[in-house]
């Protein structure tokens, strides 16, 4: 019912904005990706710095039923509407550029196990009628996206994703990151910084998993022991950043970690400093994730990735993965327990995994150059 009412709201606002004139130099970015690897937010910052002659407006959160009339007029008067989730524009002659918010590893749309046919058909029609350009990184990406959303091949443009520019240029130093998140100073330069970023686990529909996370077991491991984990990390000269999905972070009563070598990275920190998560990832030495597509982007850094697979069977049953077997499509050590995680962190990066990361990087990243510049050049083409 809420989705139906919101669609009615969007139609009504479009009707009210129909007579608003368009400005060729105006770009509106509808950012639904927050600060967790948002193509829209990274491109917005780049536009402000590099093209002040353009009027670039950031609208967030999106979608929202609480936007002001002035904001709707900004949206309606823009020539360019850039989206990170579903395509959107107010008028036919506006140009929608769809950046999406991740390379799909998890099933979605038509391919997902937990979606409805009517919703999938509505979404496919929306992509067909509204998206003018879909940013792409490779043939492989286009195949996955089209299998889920029914996107026509003519809509893709291999311009890459703006968020990847942020990977190459960390906005602060490693020392500053350690000081901000861990209150640590004069840290051994050889110390490692890892980040754990799981996918949205609520959709596994398991009360047990949510209870474990709420209790502080952010891995949802059967052998989880926070104090022991922290001590082992300390002995391994390693700091671990935990970046959970925003919904999961709300389960914690206190986001401030009482551990010396484990810190929670939440959206408040990113928003207060005007950072995107990807502007910090370049400072890390390894990534831990489960079924999140972030690992495809992290391949550009060519650093170790540890894959947490303790709920693999349950996730494949509930939503599913677009490819498999999981062990063959994930170029890194697999860990299903705290003991295995600590062993993986302590293991040197092997030539085997380096070769696997290179193979997957070549498959998924066929676009080079500055990605924000690629997008701008596409927009300004004759």
pLDDT at 201 over 70: no
* Right CATH for 2-160+369-379 from 3.40.228.10, 3.30.1490.20, 3.30.457.10, 3.40.50.11820: 3.40.50.11820
Same fold, 2-160+369-379 and 170-364: yes
Q: What is the C-alpha separation between 307 and 82, in angstroms, rounded? A: 32
pLDDT at 128 over 80: yes
Q: Quick one: average pLDDT of 312-319?
A: 82
With a pLDDT cut of 70, the percent of the chain lying above it is: 96
Give exposure, 312-332, as e/b (b: 16+ Cβ within 10 Å): beebbebbbbbeeebeeebbb
Q: 327 near 176, Cβ under 8 Å?
A: no
Identify which has the larger pLDDT, 266 or 28. Answer: 28
Q: How many CB atoms lie within 10 A of CB 378?
A: 14
- The whole-number pLDDT of residue 104 equals 86
170-364: CATH superfamily: CDP-glycerol glycerophosphotransferase, C-terminal domain (3.40.50.12580)
pLDDT tens digits for 320-370? 889 889 999 999 999 999 999 999 999 999 999 999 999 999 999 999 889
Q: What is the C-alpha separation between 76 and 137, in angstroms, rounded? A: 29
- The whole-number pLDDT of residue 248 equals 74
Which of 2-6, 89-93, 289-293, 311-315: highest mean pLDDT? 89-93
Nearest Cα to Cα of residue 333 among 320, 321, 322, 349: 349
What's the mean per-residue pLDDT of the chain?
A: 91
Sorted by where each begins, the domain ranges of the chain are: 2-160+369-379, 170-364
Give exposure, 161-177, as e/b (b: 16+ Cβ within 10 Å): bbbbbbbeebbbebeeb
pLDDT tens digits for 295-304? 999 999 999 9
Q: Quick one: average pLDDT of 104-123?
A: 89
- The whole-number pLDDT of residue 266 equals 85
Give the model's confidence band at 377: pLDDT under 50 very low, under 70 low, under 90 confident, else very high. very high
Instruction: Report how far apart, in Å, the C-alpha atoms of 161 and of each of 136, 214, 360 are.
Output: 7, 34, 17
DSSP H or E segment with residue 297: helix 294-298
Q: Quick one: average pLDDT of 52-78?
A: 94
Q: What DSSP letter does each residue of 307-351 carry, written as one string?
A: EE-TTHHHHHHHT-BSS--HHHH--SEEE-SHHHHHHHHTSPPPH
pLDDT tens digits for 247-291? 777 766 555 578 999 999 988 899 999 999 999 999 999 999 998
**Residue 143, SS3 per DSSP:** helix
pLDDT at 2 over 80: no
- The whole-number pLDDT of residue 253 equals 54
Give the model's confidence band at 206: pLDDT under 50 very low, under 70 low, under 90 confident, else very high. low
Give the model's confidence band at 212: pLDDT under 50 very low, under 70 low, under 90 confident, else very high. confident
pLDDT at 57 over 60: yes
Nearest Cα to Cα of residue 239 among 209, 263, 267: 263
Q: What is the C-alpha separation between 44 and 38, in angstroms, rounded? A: 10
Give the global pTM: 0.92
Q: What is the C-alpha separation between 14 and 75, in angstroms, rounded? A: 10
Q: What DSSP letter does each residue of 102-132 carry, written as one string?
A: S---B--GGG-TT--HHHHHHHHHHHHHH-S
- The whole-number pLDDT of residue 124 equals 93
Q: 309 near 334, Cβ under 8 Å?
A: yes
Residues with Cβ within 8 Å of residue 277, at least 6 apart in sequence: 35, 36, 37, 243, 265, 270
């Amino acid at each position: 019912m809420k989705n139906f009412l919101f669609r009615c709201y969007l139609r009504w606002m479009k009707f009210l904005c129909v007579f608003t004139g368009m400005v060729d130099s105006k770009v509106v970015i509808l950012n639904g990706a927050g600060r967790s690897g948002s193509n829209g937010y990274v491109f917005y910052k780049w536009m402000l710095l590099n093209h002040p002659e353009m009027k670039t407006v950031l609208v967030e959160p999106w979608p929202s039923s609480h936007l002001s009339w002035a904001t709707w007029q900004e949206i309606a008067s823009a020539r360019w509407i850039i989206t990170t989730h579903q395509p959107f524009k107010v008028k036919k002659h506006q140009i929608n550029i769809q950046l999406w918010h991740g390379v799909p590893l998890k099933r979605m749309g038509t391919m997902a196990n937990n979606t409805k046919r009517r919703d999938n058909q509505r979404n496919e029609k929306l992509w067909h009628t509204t998206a003018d350009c879909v940013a792409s990184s490779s043939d492989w990406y286009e195949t996955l996206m089209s299998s889920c959303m029914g996107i026509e091949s003519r809509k893709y443009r291999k311009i890459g994703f703006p968020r990847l520019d942020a990977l190459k240029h960390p906005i602060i130093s490693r020392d500053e990151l350690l000081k901000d998140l861990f209150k640590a100073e004069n840290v051994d330069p050889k110390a490692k910084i890892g980040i754990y970023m799981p996918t949205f686990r609520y959709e596994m529909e398991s009360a047990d998993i949510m209870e474990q996370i709420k209790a502080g077991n952010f891995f949802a491991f059967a052998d989880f022991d926070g104090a022991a984990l922290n001590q082992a990390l300390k002995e391994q000269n390693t700091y671990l950043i935990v970046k959970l999905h925003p919904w999961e972070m709300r389960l914690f009563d206190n986001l401030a970690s009482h551990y010396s070598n484990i810190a929670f990275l939440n959206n408040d920190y990113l928003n207060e400093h005007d950072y995107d998560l990807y502007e910090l990832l370049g400072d890390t030495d390894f990534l831990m994730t489960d079924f999140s597509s972030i690992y495809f982007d992290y391949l550009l850094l060519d650093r170790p990735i540890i894959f947490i697979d303790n709920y693999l069977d349950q996730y494949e049953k509930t939503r599913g993965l677009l490819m498999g077997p999981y062990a063959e499509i994930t170029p890194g050590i697999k860990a299903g327990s705290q003991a295995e995680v600590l062993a993986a962190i302590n293991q040197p990066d092997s030539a085997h995994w380096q070769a696997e990361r290179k193979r997957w990087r070549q498959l998924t990243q066929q676009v080079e150059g500055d990605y924000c510049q690629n997008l701008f050049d596409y927009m300004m083409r004759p």
